[in-house]
Structures are given as structure tokens and as C-alpha cells.
A and B are shown apart, each in its own frame.
Chain A
Amino acid sequence: MASVPEEGVVTPDGRQIGGVLMEMKNITLRFGGVVAVKDISFDIRKGEIRAIIGPNGAGKSSMLNVISGFYNPQEGEVWFKGYRRGPMKPYEVARLGIARTFQNIALFDGMTVLDNIMTGRLNKMRSGFLAQALWWGAAEREEIENRAQVEKIIDFLEIQNIRKTPVGRLPYGLKKRVELARALAAEPQLLLLDEPMAGMNVEEKEDMSRFILDVNDEFGTTIALIEHDMGVVMDISDRVVVMDYGRKIGDGTPAEVRGNQEVIDAYLGVAHD
């Protein structure tokens, strides 16, 4: 199965994949009687694009929510950058350098695109309460610096023309893109994307795939993503975890996973969107 040596590898397209960035050890997560995640272990390596796939209700989002601290598992250990992470609040996880998007898009609808993306930088801004009141200059300089970073991301994701639009008015596909932009604004070490292409047309999916690859390539960001579209998964991911009914049933390169009988069975006769 997963076959990456400790010191890392260079992928066929020349990208460097390093050591373990995040490791999940025997994670079990229950909601009352429902076991959403059942004794799952896997790792995410520095610089890689790691996909999590599986039928509806397999527990993919739950797994991502464990990584981002939105759920705390009843059993198992979460290791990040070589340290074991205790139970944490989502905002604390975010401050560790883990950014995310949501399956059902969670944006600040009342704010403009620019303001939404700026919130991604809140933790990069140091000026406190009093400093801002007493010494407006420093706060203003900081705001301008962060604004410049945000403008870079806006250019990168090609959303210049909607900068001042309130997010609530945007079509679905663009909302997804703004959400990605906000996550990127935090300059995360690990980026978690929950179905970044769900509900998109072919063209939008191609754009999003390209953005994800570009982010990984240009900023070296490690990415873990959930996706239903097999074509996309096979195209862009380095390694794939396959889940079914809360269990892990496969883990390896796209080619390895595709040939795995258990995976094929899990997908047979299951309708996907």
C-alpha cells in the first residue's frame, strides 16, 4: 500500500515530497451510536496532494473535521509536525497553520470578497486593540501589507473583477473559489479542501484543478482534499485514502487504489454525484 520512503521522493512530474507532516493514528469518531470513523490511520506528507475518497456517508468529512479540530475523536492520536496534538479548538488548529474549506461553503455572506479573504489573514496581524486605537499608523501599515498579500491571491485565483462584490451575491462556483482564496490567505502549511469541485461544471472543475495544482506547485502547500470525481482525483493526487462505512479500505497511489478489489467493490452499484 502506501509506499513512500522516510526521506521522501520526487514525483514523476518533478515535485519533491518530503517527510510526514501529519499523522493520524487509529482514529475512531462516534456520534452517539453512529461510528463515523473507525480505527483509521494514515499520514500526509510534506508537499503532497493527498485525496480522501469514498461513497456518500463514508466518513470523509468527519475525518477532515478531526484534522481541523472541529470534531475531537474518542480514540486515536493526531500528530502534526512531529508533535502529538491534544484536543484542540478549531481556532487553535487554524493558528497552527491548517486552513480549510467546507463541503457546504462557509463564507461571510454579508462581507465583500476582499473582506472575506482578509479574514484569512487575521492571525497574521499583530496590532492589538490598544495599539490600533493609540497608534493608528502601525495598524494602517500592517493593514496595507496584508492587503498586498491578499491582492496577490486575488490575482492568482483570477477573481479581480469581483473584489468588491458582497459574497452572498456570487454564483456557487465563484463562492468556492473565494473560500479557497480565504484559506490561502492564511499561508497554511496544510490546506484541507472538502469537495472543492462539488456541483461545478466541467470547465469550472478544470479551473479548480489547475488552481489546486498551482497552489501546491508555487507555494509548496501540502493539500488534503475530498473529491467524488474520480477523473479529477486520479489526475491531481499523489496518494489516495479510500474510506467506506467509516473504515479505511485502501491507501496508495491512484494506480494502486484503482486496482484494489475492495475499492472496486465498494464503488460498484453505488450512485455518485
Chain B
Amino acid sequence: MDQLIYATEVLLNGLMTGVMYALVALGFVLIFKASGVFNYAQGVLALFAALTLVGIQQGQIPFAHMINAMFGTHLETFGWTVPSLVAILLTAMVMVVLAFLIEKLVLQHLVGQEPIILFMATIGLAYFLEGLGDVMWGADIKTLDVGLPQGISETIEGVTADWFGYGFFIDRLDLWATAIAAALVAALVAFAQYTKQGRAMRAVADDHQAALSVGISLRFIWVMVWSIAGFVALVAGIMWGTKSGVQFSLSLIALKALPVLMLGGFTSIPGAIVGGLIIGVGEKLFEFLIGPMIGGATENWFAYVLALIFLVFRPQGLFGERIIERV
């Protein structure tokens, strides 16, 4: 009985982690569907967004380190701080500008190239952005606080203690992150399904020629999906950055999205959501139930093993389309 209650707690935590995974995976899916690019830089995008957010919030002077080195100055900050909400909006704008530049400077020149070339380009982009983040905002570990509540939720602890005689430990930050991520996922789905631009985006994802013939500009759609992916990265960056500080390891959250995509299919929005939940719950439950028997630390690899086993049986993923060569 106790075991069951503990498992429920683990399950809840898994679900919450899963929603975050789903969010990161969605960033990949949107870009992949609309432009056929597997965006290796998605994780670095989150890091860059978080760095920019902290930088703006704390009034850091961009490139200060570089300017100081070149001119022997001692610049650091503007001496002001920017309210969180404003800083988030400004960062979102930076991400849109970034999307525009990526399309203009990189993708536009690679139209019609093999997917592997586009993939390599995003690897280059990832390293470039990582470096740019360092140069612009400095390489030190930063704390990010946009005012999200943190710490154990006493309400939940109290309620569950009344019910089960055991109080669940649930972080309020996780609760908020889950709620925000879920809302964002829902908004994205609604956007894709019910708006003009969403319809155009789905059209581009389905057939480029046909999309052109009804007057859709592919470039506009690409800038749009990269902007959305940038925004998703920002949200993910805020959550993860708040939790464990803004540092290089933040970009590794993208690695968690990979098994989610293998499971859910690279082209499916519902797949990313369900895949994220399965991986989130799966890795937490596995660690809880099997972990102690085999020495723990299963969370690092469980997702990949699950995805690999899954791949053998259903290569296109849970909801993915069968890859059929088009002539």
C-alpha cells in the first residue's frame, strides 16, 4: 500500500517532467514539419534565450567582456534592472530577430539541399550560438529568477497527508512549469489548427509546391516556425534555468527531447505530447521500481533504451507518418 502511494507521487512528478519534455520536443517537431530541418540547435536556443533573459533583467551590457578586452574599459552593467515581464517580452523579440537572421543568413542559402546538409548547418548554428551567448553575456553560471514560486507545496503536502497519511513532496516550481508548459502546448495546437497562419504552416508542412500555389511564402512560414521554436526555447529555458541555474548544461535538455521524438514520431504534434509524457513517467517509475535493484542512476539512459526498443517495432514512431519516398 505504501509502495502504491509512493508510486503515485513518482507518477505525478513524472507527468510534470513529461510535459516539459513534450514542450521541448514540440520545438523540434514544428521546425521539422515545416522545413524538414532537424534542428540540433534547439537546446542551445533555450540556453541562449535564458542567458539573454538574465542579461536583460540584470541590465548587463552585451559584449561587455569583449569591449573591455579591446578598449581596456571596465564596463559591466547599465546599472538598472528590468522587470521580469518586460525582460521576457524583450527576450521573445530577440528570439524573433534571431529566427529572421537564421532564415536570412543560413536557411535561405540552403533551400533544396539534402536534409543532412541542413542538419550540419544547425550543428554549426548550435556552436555559434553557444559562443555568441558566452561573448554577449559572459560564461559564468547565472541564477534566473522571474518570480516563479519555488519550494515544496505545503497545500499538496497537507492534503495528501490527510488522505494517505503521507505527504507528497511536490515542488511548486514544477507545478507552475507544468501548468505553463501545458498551456503553451494547448495554445500551439490551437494555433496550428484554427488560425490562418496555422493553416498555412500545416500546408507548408504537407507539400511545398501546393503551398506556393495558394500563395504562401515559405520564407515567412520558416521565420514564423523558428520564432515559435525560439519562444518555446525561451519558456523551457526559464523553467530549467530557474531550477538549476543558467549554464551550459541547460542546452542538454534537447538530448531529452530526442527519445521523445523517436517515440512520438518526428512529424507529430500529438506524438510529441504523448511521447513526452511516456518518457517522463517511464523514467521516473523505472528509477523508482527497478532502479534500486540495479544500482540506480537509470534516468540517464532509460529514455534512450525505451526509444530504441520502440524503434525496432515502429520506426515511424507512435503517430509519425510512414516515410514513403515521394517522386
Contacts and interface: CB of A to CB of B under 8 A. Distances in A.
Q: Do A and B bind each other?
A: yes
Contacts of B199: 115, 118-119, 122
Given A127-B196, A139-B195, A110 B215 contact: no
B172 interface: no
Interface string B105-140: 000000000000000000000000000000000000
B213 interface: yes
Contact of B202 (A95, A100, A107, A111): A111
Interface string A108-130: 11110001001110110101010
Given A95-B215, A122-B215, A186-B215, A107 B207 contact: yes
B206 A110 contact: yes
Interface residues of A, number: 32
B212 A108 contact: no
A94 B195 CA distance: 20
B290 interface: no
A123 to B, nearest CB: 4
Given A108-B207, A109-B206, A139-B195, A119 B217 contact: no
B197 A94 contact: no
B206 A91 contact: no
Given A118-B199, A122-B200, A94 B209 contact: no
Contact of A91 (B194, B196, B202, B212): B212
A107 B217 contact: no
A122 B218 CA distance: 14
A75 B207 CA distance: 29
A91 B217 CA distance: 6
Nearest to A69: B212
A93 B295 CA distance: 64
A102 B210 contact: yes
Nearest to A104: B327
B196 A132 contact: yes
Given A95-B215, A123-B214, A123-B215, A109 B196 contact: no
B214 A94 contact: yes
A102 B206 contact: no
B197 A106 contact: no
Interface string B40-80: 00000000000000000000000000000000000000000
Contacts of B210: 102, 106-108, 119
Contacts of B215: 91-92, 94-95, 122-123, 186
Residue from A109, A122, A125, A182 whose CB has the most chain B CB atoms within 10 Å: A122
Interface residues of B, number: 22
Contact of A119 (B194, B195, B200): B200
B214 A122 contact: yes
A94 B209 CA distance: 12
Interface centre among B200, B206, B218 (most CB of A within 10 A): B206
A66 to B, nearest CB: 14
A99 interface: yes
Given A108-B202, A110-B202, A129-B197, A122 B213 contact: no
Contacts of B307: none
A182 B215 CA distance: 12
Contacts of A91: 211-212, 215-218
B269 to A, nearest CB: 11
Contacts of B214: 94, 99, 119-120, 122-123, 182, 186
A70 B218 CA distance: 13
A125 B199 CA distance: 12
B233 interface: no
A89 interface: yes
Nearest to A118: B199
Given A91-B218, A120-B214, A132-B196, 19 more contacts: A68-B213, A70-B209, A90-B213, A91-B217, A95-B215, A99-B214, A100-B213, A102-B213, A106-B213, A107-B210, A108-B207, A111-B203, A119-B203, A119-B210, A122-B199, A122-B215, A125-B196, A132-B195, A132-B197
